[in-house]
Amino acid sequence: MLDSTKIEHFKQKLLQEKERLELELTDIGAINSADGVDWSGTPGELEVSSEDRNELADKIEEQQTNEAIVSELETRKLAVEEALKRIEDGTYGLCKVCGKPIDEERLEANPAADTCIEHAE
């Protein structure tokens, strides 16, 4: 089992990562719901009347790329938030499949890990 000092260490790492992810999401995405849960890619300045079809295609492509990144960041943010919740619940550091403690090295590399190496996806 992890002692409270270790858990605090991983908690700080998770909080830092959460903050970083939120900054990245603010940078690239737009909050489109009042509670800030749902994020989407920003369309950029889409010049609809433009005759330059290439430019329009670029803009659309840029938006799609943003959406892909936003969805990746969202997934990561969710994993970090779930890990923080497990710290509150006292189940942090345990594999969700077999319930065994997760290697500290693994948590060091990814504090949001919720499975042991054996049960990694």
Return residues touching Zn ion (CB under 5 A).
95, 97-98, 116, 118-119
70 neighbors 80 (Cβ within 8 angstroms): no
* Residue 98 beta carbon to Zn ion: minimum distance, rounded to whole angstroms: 3
Residues recorded for the chain: 121
Nearer to Zn ion, 68 or 98 (CB): 98
Q: Copy the structure tokens of residue 99.
A: 């319930």
Toward Zn ion, which CB reaches closer, 57 or 98?
98
Beta bridge partners of 30: 40
Nearer to Zn ion, 1 or 34 (CB): 1
Min dist CB 103 to Zn ion, Å, is 10
H or E stretch at 102:
none
